[in-house]
Structure 1
Amino acid sequence: MKNRSQFGERAAKVAKAEWPTLLLWSFLLSPLLIRLLADCRCSKTDLLVYYTLGISLLWLLAIRFVSGNQFKVHVYLLPFYLVASVDLFLVLNFGSRLTAAYLFIGLTNYKEAGDFLSTYGSSIITVLLVLVLCYGVGLAGLYGRTLYKSKTVLCFAIGALLVGYGVYFYKTVKLNSFGKSAILDLAAKDQSTPFGYLSQIGLTASLYTESKKYIKQRLESEVNITSTSDQPGIETLVFVIGESSRPHNWSLFGYPNVTPPNLDKETGVFKFSSMCTTAPYTSVAVPSLLSLEPIKHWDLIASTKSLVGIYRAAGYKTYWLSSQEVDSFGGIIPQIAAEAQNRQYFERSYDGALISAYEKIIQQGAGQKQAVFIHIKGSHFDYARRYPREFAKFTPATDSAKDRITANYDNSVLYTDWLLGTIIEQLKASQRKALLVYSSDHGENLLDDSRGLLGHGMGNEYDLSVAAFIWASGNLPQQLAQKLQKLDEREGQRISISSLPHTLLTITGISMPGYDSTHDLLSNDFVPSQCPYLLGTGYVPSFDFDVKRVAAE
C-alpha cells in the first residue's frame, strides 16, 4: 500500500512537471494515433505501424532530454508543428497521413489552392485553432522552466533510433539491393513524427527532380477533344487498376479454386482470357494502361495527359482513390493521380479501406458524370498481408514454399473479388448507367516451374499475363448494350492493356486525336495485339505466350 502511494505521488509530481511536454506530444502524435484507431476498424494493423509509433516516441524522447530549456527547443520546432497540423487535417478529412503523395500533388497542383481553401476552409480553421491552443498552452507552460536533462536517456534514444532505422534499412536492402532505391524506400516508409516529415519532403524532392521535365510537359499539354456524344450513355465509369494479378489463379479464367466467387456469378461481365501487359513493372504498366500512346513511345506516355485528364476535360468529375504508397517505384503515377479533381490515399491499409470513400462518391453522383480511378494493392507481395484474416479460405496442401505462397496468393485474389463485388453492388444500388473496368498492371511468378521464379520483372508468360474484364450495368441504352456484345468476340483474342483507353473513348462517346480504331475492342478494325512490352530499358516488339510456355516446360 505504501509503495502504491509513493508511486502515485511520484507520478503526480512527474505529471505536474511534464504536463506541457505531454500536451505538445499529444498534438504531434495525434495524426498517427487517430490513423491507428481508424486502422483497427478497417484493416489489420501491421508491424510497420508499430515501428512508426516506436520511432516517433524515440524522437520525442530525444527532443525532451536534449536540453533543459524545452521552451526554446519547441520554439525551434514550430515548422514541424505546422506540418503536423497539415497531417492532422489530412487524417481527419481524408483518413490519410501526410506523405509524399500529398506533397507531390501540392507541388504540381498548386493552382487549385483557391478551390481547396474554399471547400475545406472551416476544417482548416478548426485544425489551426487546435494547433494554437495546444502549442500556445504548451509553450506557456514551459516558459521560464528548467526541466531535468539526462544524457543517458538522450544517448539511449539516439542509439535506439540508429538501431531502428538500421534494421529497417537492412531489410530494405535485402529486398531491393543496396542503392538509391533502398534509401528512397526507407524514406517512403518513414512516417514518424516529427522528423519523419523530413523523409517525406526528401522523397518528394527526389521524385520531383527526377521527373521535372515530364511534369512540366504534362502540365503544359492540353487535351484536344473534338466531340462528345449527345446520346445518353455511361454516367459512372469506375476503372480499377489491380496489382500483380494474373489470370492463372482466377476461377473466372478456369482456375480450379473458386477465387472470385462473386464475379463468377455476376451477369454483365466481359472477360479477357489473353490480356497482356506492356511492362512487368507498375511504374511503366499503369501509365501505359491509362494512355492512348503505344508503349514504344514512352516519352509521349510520360509527358501527355492520361485517361484521367481526358475524362476531366470531357466534363466528368474525376476521382483517384489509392491504397498504394507513393515511393521510388511509382514513377509518374503520382502525376497521373494529380490530374484528378479529387485524390485520396489509404496507404498501409487493406484495399477495403477505400470503400467508404468510394460509396460517398457514388452517393453524391446525381446530376453529374463521374470517372473514378481506383489503384489497389491487390496481390502485391507479401501476399499474406493483402487480406484480412476472414479471407484466409485457402490453406496450403503441403508445407512447401510453393503451396504456402499459392494459398496466400489465392486468398488475395479472393479479397480482390470481394472488393470488386462490393464496388459493383454499389453501382447497382445507385441505379446509374455504369461501367466498371478492371485490369491488373502486370502478372506474377509463383515458383511455377523449374526456374523457381517469384515476383515480376522477368518478362515471361506469368508476369506478362494479366487478369482483366469489363462489367456493364443492366440499364444501359439498348444501342450501347448491343455494341458491348462485341466484347464477347474478344474473349480469347490476344489483347494488350493499351487497348482499354481506346475502347473506353468509344463506349463513352469521346472523339479526339490519338484514338486508334485498330486498338478499339468495339471496332471492326481491331487487330489482335502482338503484346509488345518494355523489359528493363529495352523495348521488346512482340511476345509469343505459347512459344514461351513450351520453352518453360
Structure 2
Amino acid sequence: MRSLLRLPPLFVLGSYLLLSLVPCVPLLLGRPAPGLGAVLGLEALLWIAAWGMFQRPAWFHWLLLPALLALPTELYLFMYYGQGISTHHLGIIAESSPMEAMEFLGNKIWLMAAILVAMLAWWVAILLAARRSPQLTWRGKTRWLAVPAIAALAVLGWPTPTPVFQQAPFTFNNFANSWPFGLIARGVDFYNERRYLAELGMRSSNFTFKAHQAAPDNEPEVVIMVLGESSRYDRWSINGYDRETTPLLAQEPNLVSLTNMITAVSATRLSVPVIISRKPAMQSLKAGFSEKSFLTAYKEAGFKTWWLSNQISFGEFDTPVSVFAKEANVIQFMNLGSFNNRSNLDQILLGPLQQAMHDPAPKKLIVLHTLGNHWNYSERYSKEFDKWQPSLFGVDKPEHTNVKIKVELNNSYDNSILYTDWFLAQVIGQLKESGQRTAMLYVADHGQVLYDGSCAIAFHGHNTQYDFHVPALVWYSDQYQSHYPDKIKQLKRLRKARLATENVFHSLLDLGDIAYDDQHLEWSFLNKQFKPHKRYVDSYGWTNYDNATFKGDCREVIDKGTPLKREK
C-alpha cells in the first residue's frame, strides 16, 4: 500500500480518476446527468478490464492519447451546448475545411493550440509516471479471470439490490457516455454514419413517389425553393423588428410571411434533410433517410430540377444534405471550400439562376442553398449593406465567443439580413421578368443566439427559442394566383398557423400542384385539409415546443412535462 502512495503511482491513478469523472461535468454546471451511476460503474469495469488485459498502465496508456486531446472539446461542448462530442460534432469536423475552422475559432486558435500542447504534455507526463510505477503492475492469474468475470457483470448486471445497478451497465448509450472509453463508441457511430450515407443512394435507387401534377398543362411554371442559413425570425422587419432590415420584401404585395415556423434542431446538416424530405423531425439526429427528396418528386412530375448552392460540396464523403442534392438534373456548388472572406456572396447564385430561368424546359424546380446569415456575419454582405455601425466589416478574424463585440456582432448580423432582403428581391425580380406562373418558398434551416439581454451565449446549436423560431415566406406571381386561387387563399389563412419545417416538403409539392402516393395534404399550409401537429425540438430530449416555457434572456426552451428520449 505504501508503494502505491508514492508520487508517480498517485499521479497516474489521480489522472485516470479525473478522466473518469468527465461524465459528472453536467452536475457541476447545474444540469442533470441521467444514468450517471451506471456510466461510472461501467467505467470502473472497463478500467479493470484494460488493466487485466495489458497488465500495467505503461502498456495501454498510448490508447488514451485521443481522449486527452479531445478532452478540451468535450468540456467546451458540455459548457456551451449541454452535451459532449457526438456523431453530429464529428460530422461537422469532417465536413469543415481548415480555413473554416480557423475562422470559427478566430484568435482563439492559438489558445486551442496551447491547450492541445498542454494535453499532450499531460499525456507524456502520465506515461513517464506509469513507466516509473512498477507497483501498478497486475501480476498473477487473477487478471486473466477478471476479464470474463467483468464481461459477465457488464452484460448480466451487478448482483446487488442497489437501485443504481439493477440494470446491466453495459449498454451502448452508457458506453458512449463514458470517458475516455466512450470516444470509441462515438467514433464507431460516426464511421457507421459515413458508410450509411455512402450507401444511401444505392439503397434508395428504386424508391419512387409515383408523382404527377394533379392537373397538368403546357404552360411554363417555375417553383423556387430558397434554403436560408442561420437566419432568425425576429430580426426581419416584415416580422415586426424595429430596424428596417427587409425594406424590399415589405414592398411585395404577393408575399406572405409565415409567422410561427420552427425547426426541430439547430444545425444545418440535421435540419435541412427534414426540410427537403419526409424525414420526421424526431429522426433528424439519425444518419440518412431511405426516401428521396422533393427533387425526385418534381422530376417524376415532369419538372427539370436544379440544385444551386453557395455552400460547400464535400466530394468523397457525402453530407446528409449533398446526398439529396445529387438527385437534381443540374448541380452546381459555387463555394470552393470555406466560409472565409474569400467565399462568395449569395449573389453568385443569381447568374446560374438566370441561366436556369432561360432553359427551354417548361416546368422547373430550382433550389438555391444560400450562405445566408452564417457566421462571420460581416462577410455575408458587401460594403454598401454595412448600414448599422459599428460593425465587424473589415475586422480580421473576430471571435463570436467574445461578448465584448456584442454591439458590433448584432449590427453585422442585421446588415446580413438587409443583404438577404436584397438577394431575395433579386430572385423575385427574375421571376417577375419571366411573366410566367411562378412561386418562391423561403425557409431558414435554424436561427442564432446573439447575446440577447443578459444571455451570455451566441451562435447556434443551443436550446433557445432564437435557435428554433425561423423566418419563412412565400412569394407568388399574379399568374400563379390566377391559376391556383384556392392555394393562395389557404396560404393567407394559415400565415399564423403553428408550423414546423416538417410541413415544408408537403407544402412545396402542393405549391407545384404535385400529387403522389401516400400524400398527406393535412401537412400542407396551402391546403384546406391542413391540420396542426405536435411540434418537437431537440432541447434536453425531444421537447414539446408548444408546451414549453422560455427561460431567461436566452429564451431556453424547457418542456413543462418530461421531454421524450432521443433515439440513437
State whether TM-score is above 0.5. Answer: yes
Q: What is aligned with 2:277?
A: 291
Evaluate the alpha carbon distance shift between residue 253 and residue 382 of structure 1 in structure 2; reply closer, same or farther with a 3 A threshold. Answer: same
Query: Where does residue 461 of structure 2 map in the other structure?
Result: 457
Question: For 1:355-399, what per-residue CA distance to the aligned partner results, in whole angstroms no more than 9, with x for missing partners?
Answer: 1111111122x4510000010000011111111111101114999
Q: Which amino acid in structure 2 is aligned with residue 342 of structure 1?
A: V
Cα gap change, 1:316 to 1:175, in 2 (>3 Å) = farther
Aligned with 1:524 (options 525, 528, 534): 528
Aligned partner of residue 273 in structure 2, secondary structure: helix
Residues 263 and 546 of structure 1, relative CA distance in 2, 3 Å threshold? farther
- Give yes or no for contact 1:292–1:515 (8 Å, CA) kept in 2: no
Q: Which residue of 1 aligns with 2:136?
A: none
1:313 aligns with 2:317: no
String of CA shifts for 1:89-122, please: whole Å, max 9, x gaps. Answer: xxxxxxxxxxxxxxxxxxxxxxxxxxxxxxxxxx
Q: Which string of whole-angstrom CA distances, capped at 9 and with x for unpartnered residues, describes residues 257-292 of structure 1?
A: 111111011120011111101211111111110113
Bigger proportion of residues as helix: 1
Whether the aligned pair in 2 keeps the contact of 1:273 and 1:467 (CA below 8 Å) is yes
- Counterpart-to-counterpart distance in 2, 1:419 and 1:300: 32
Separation of aligned partners in 2, 1:233 and 1:295: 36
Q: Which moved more, 1:525-534 or 1:321-330?
A: 321-330
Deviations 1:482-522 (A, max 9, x none): 43122122222211121122122223222113421221112
Structure 1 equivalent of residue 250 of structure 2: 264
Aligned to 1:363: 358
Shift of 1:189: 6.3
C-alpha change, 1:545 and 1:471, in structure 2 (3 Å) is farther
Structure 1 Cα separation of the partners of residues 318 and 410 of structure 2: 26
Query: Equivalent residue for 1:354?
Result: 349
- The whole-number CA distance in structure 2 between the counterparts of 1:217 and 1:312 is 19
1:276 aligns with 2:271: no
> Hey, what's the Cα distance between the residues in 1 that align with 2:375 and 2:217?
44
Choose from 535, 546, 550 the match for 1:544: 546
Choose from 173, 185, 188 the match for 2:96: 185
- Displacement of 1:206: 10
- What does residue 439 of structure 1 align with? 443
CA contact (8 A) 1:318 1:342 kept: yes
Q: Which residue is equivalent to 1:407? A: 411
Is the CA contact 2:224–2:367 (under 8 Å) kept in the aligned structure 1? yes
Q: 2:326 aligns with which of 332, 338, 343?
A: 338
Q: Which of 305-314 and 501-510 deviates more?
A: 501-510
Superposition TM-score, scaled by structure 1 size: 0.60
Equivalent residues of 2:261, 2:471 under 8 A apart:
yes
CA shift, 1:477, in A, is 5.6
- RMSD of aligned C-alpha atoms? 3.4
Letter in 2 for 1:430: S
Q: Is the 8 A contact 2:521 2:527 kept in 1?
A: yes
Seen in structure 2, the aligned counterparts of structure 1 residues 448 and 529 have a Cα distance that, compared at 3 Å, is: farther
SS in 2 for 1:275: strand
Contact 2:256 2:475 in 1 (8 A): yes
Q: Map Cα deviations across residues 20-61 of structure 1 (whole Å, 9 max, x no partner).
A: xxxxxxxxxxxxxxxxxxxxxxxxxxxxxxxxxxxxxxxxxx
- CA distance in structure 1 between the aligned counterparts of 2:530 and 2:552, rounded to whole angstroms: 28
CA distance in 2, matches of 1:173, 1:346: 33
Secondary structure of 1:349's match?
Answer: coil
Contact 1:326 1:334 in 2 (8 A): yes
- Hey, what's the Cα distance between the residues in 1 that align with 2:268 and 2:356? 26
- State the aligned residue count: 367
C-alpha distance 316-243 of structure 1, shift in aligned 2 (>3 A): same
Q: Deviations over 1:106-161 (max 9, x none)?
A: xxxxxxxxxxxxxxxxxxxxxxxxxxxxxxxxxxxxxxxxxxxxxxxxxxxxxxxx
Tell me how far 1:179 sits from its aligned partner: 6.5
Deviates more, 1:209-218 or 1:179-188: 179-188
* In 2, Cα distance between equivalents of 1:414 and 1:174: 36
Aligned partner of residue 436 in structure 2, secondary structure? coil
Scaled by the length of structure 2, the TM-score of the pair is: 0.59
Tell me, which stretches of 5 or more residues in structure 1 are unaligned? 1-171, 191-204
The change in CA–CA distance for 1:420 and 1:174 in structure 2 (over 3 A counts) is farther
State the alpha-carbon separation in 2 of the partners of residues 327 and 317 from structure 1. 24
Counterparts of 1:166-177 in structure 2, within 5 Å, are: none
Matched, 1:374 2:368: yes
State the match for 1:395 in structure 2.
389
Corresponding residue of 1:251: 237
| Contact residue 293 and residue 514 of structure 1 kept, 8 A | no
CA contact (8 A) 1:234 1:435 kept: no
The residue type paired with residue 314 of structure 1 is A
Question: Equivalents in 2 of 1:180, 1:295: separation in Å?
Answer: 19
Show CA shifts across 1:61-86 (max 9, x none).
xxxxxxxxxxxxxxxxxxxxxxxxxx
Cα distance change on mapping 1:266 and 1:183 into 2, 3 Å: closer
Paired with 1:210 and 1:320, the residues of 2 have a C-alpha distance of 22
8 Å contact from structure 1 (residues 322, 345) kept in 2: yes
Say if 1:225 and 1:255 are closer, same or farther in 2 by CA, change over 3 A. Answer: same
Instruction: Describe how 1:217-236 pairs up with structure 2 within 5 A.
Output: 217-225=203-211, 228-230=214-216, 235-236=221-222
**Does the aligned pair in 2 maintain the 1:320–1:342 contact within 8 Å?**
yes
Q: Give the structure 2 partner of residue 62 of structure 1.
A: none
**Is 1:490 equivalent to 2:477 in the alignment?**
no
Distance in 2 between the 1:281 and 1:180 partners? 11
Tell me if the contact between 1:217 and 1:303 (Cα under 8 Å) persists in the aligned partners: yes
Cα gap change, 1:247 to 1:233, in 2 (>3 Å): farther
Residues 487 and 521 in structure 1, CA contact (< 8 A), matched pair in contact too: yes
Give 1:310's aligned amino acid: A
Query: What is the distance in 2 between the residues matched to 1:330 and 1:383?
Result: 26
Aligned counterparts of 2:213 and 2:379: Cα–Cα separation in 1: 45
Residues 232, 477 of structure 1: 8 Å contact kept: no
Identity %: 26
Match of 2:200 in 1: 214
Q: Is the 8 A contact 1:235 1:369 kept in 2?
A: yes
Whole-angstrom CA distance in 2 between matches of 1:542 and 1:388? 40
Whether 1:302 and 2:310 are equivalent positions in the alignment is no
Distance 2:331 2:214 in 1: 25
| Alignment correspondent of 1:64 | none
Greater displacement, 524-533 / 441-450: 524-533
Q: In the alignment, residue 96 of structure 2 is paired with which amino acid?
A: D
The match for 2:309 is 322
- Cα contact 2:95–2:319 (8 A) shared by 1: no
Per the TM alignment, residue 212 of structure 1 is displaced from its structure 2 partner at its CA by 2.5
The worse-fitting range, judged by mean Cα deviation, of 414-423 and 445-454 is 445-454
Aligned equivalents of 2:453, 2:318: Cα separation in 1: 29
Looking at structure 1, the residues matched to 194 and 465 of structure 2 have their Cα atoms a distance apart, in angstroms, of 34
**Whole-Å separation in 2 of the counterparts to 1:547 and 1:515:** 34
Q: How does 1:99-138 map to 2 (within 5 A)?
A: none
Instruction: Report the secondary structure of 2:504's partner residue.
Output: helix
Give SS of 1:272's match: strand
Relative to structure 1, the CA distance from residue 320 to residue 179 in structure 2 (aligned partners, 3 Å threshold; closer, same or farther) is closer
Q: Aligned partners of 2:372 and 2:547: how far apart in 1?
A: 24
Whether 2:506 is the aligned partner of 1:511: answer no
2: CA distance, partners of 1:182 / 1:290 = 23
Q: Residue 533 of structure 1 aligns with which residue? A: 537
The DSSP-based 3-state class of the residue aligned with 1:374 is strand
